[in-house]
Structure 1
Amino acid sequence: MRQLRYFVEIVEAGSYSLAAERLFISQSALSRQVKELEVAAQVQLLTRNARHFELTLAGKTFYDGAKRLLFNLNETLVQTRHAERGEHGVIRVLHSSSVPFASPLIERINAYLLSYEGTSLEISQMSSEHQGQQIEEGRSDIGFVRLPVHVRFPSVRIEELYTEQLMLAVPLTHPLSGADEVAVSALREASFVSLPHGERGGLSYRVAELCMRNGFFPGAARATSRKTTQLSLVEAGLGVALVPASMRAIAPHGVRFIPLTGTDNATSVAMLYRRGASSLVDGFADALRSTA
Structure 2
Amino acid sequence: MTSIRQLRYFVEIAEQGSFSSAAERLFVAQSALSRQIKELEQQLGTLLFERTARQPRLTGAGRVFLGRARQLLADLDKAERLAREVGEGLLGSLQLNHSSTVPLSGLLLERLGVYLQGNPGVSIEIAQQSSEAQLADIAEGHLDIGLLRLPVLRQHEAVEIHTLFSEPLLLAVAAQHPLAEEARVTLAQLREEHFISVPHRQRGGLSYLCASLCMEAGFFPRAAQVVSRKTTQLQLIQANFGVALLPECMRAIAPPSIRFVPLAEPGCVSTVSLACRRDAGEMVRQFVEVIRG
TM-score (norm 2): 0.68
Residue 141 of structure 2 corresponds to: 138
Distance, in Å, in 2 between the alignment partners of 1:185 and 1:105 is 33
1:278 matched residue in structure 2? 281
> Could you tell me how far 1:277 is from its partner in structure 2?
1.0
Alpha-carbon spacing, 1:113–1:130, altered in 2? closer, same or farther (3 Å) = same
C-alpha contact (below 8 Å) 2:90/2:119 kept by paired residues: no
Residue 96, structure 1, aligned to residue 135, structure 2 = no
How far apart are residue 163 of structure 1 and its match? 0.4
Deviations 1:114-155 (A, max 9, x none): 333332211111112221122122222100110011122221
CA distance in 2, matches of 1:99, 1:142: 13
**Counterpart of 1:286 in 2: which secondary structure?**
helix
The aligned residue for residue 7 of structure 1 is: none
The aligned counterpart of 1:195 is 198
TM-score (ref. length: structure 1): 0.68
**Number of corresponding residues:** 211
Matches within 5 A, 1:75-224: 80=83, 83=86, 88-224=91-227
**Counterpart of 1:219 in structure 2: which amino acid?**
R
Secondary structure of 2:146's partner?
Answer: strand
Structure 1 stretch displaced more, 99-108 or 162-171: 99-108
Runs (5+) with no aligned partner, structure 2: 1-81
State the 1:83 CA deviation: 4.4
Partners of 1:211 and 1:108 lie apart in 2 by 34
Equivalents in 2 of 1:206, 1:221: separation in Å?
Answer: 18
| Structure 1: gaps spanning 5 or more residues | 1-78
**RMSD of aligned C-alpha atoms?**
2.0
**Measured at CA, do residues 130 and 169 of structure 1 come closer, stay the same or move farther in structure 2, by a change above 3 Å?**
same
What percent identity do the matched residue pairs reach? 46
Q: How many angstroms does 1:108 deviate by?
A: 2.1
The alpha-carbon distance between structure 1 residues 82 and 140, as it changes in their structure 2 partners (threshold 3 A), is farther
Deviation at 1:87, TM superposition (A): 5.6
> What residue in structure 1 maps to residue 248 of structure 2?
245
Give, in angstroms, the shift of residue 81 of structure 1.
9.8
8 Å CA contact 2:90, 2:283 repeated in 1: no
CA distance in structure 2 between the aligned counterparts of 1:112 and 1:92, rounded to whole angstroms: 14
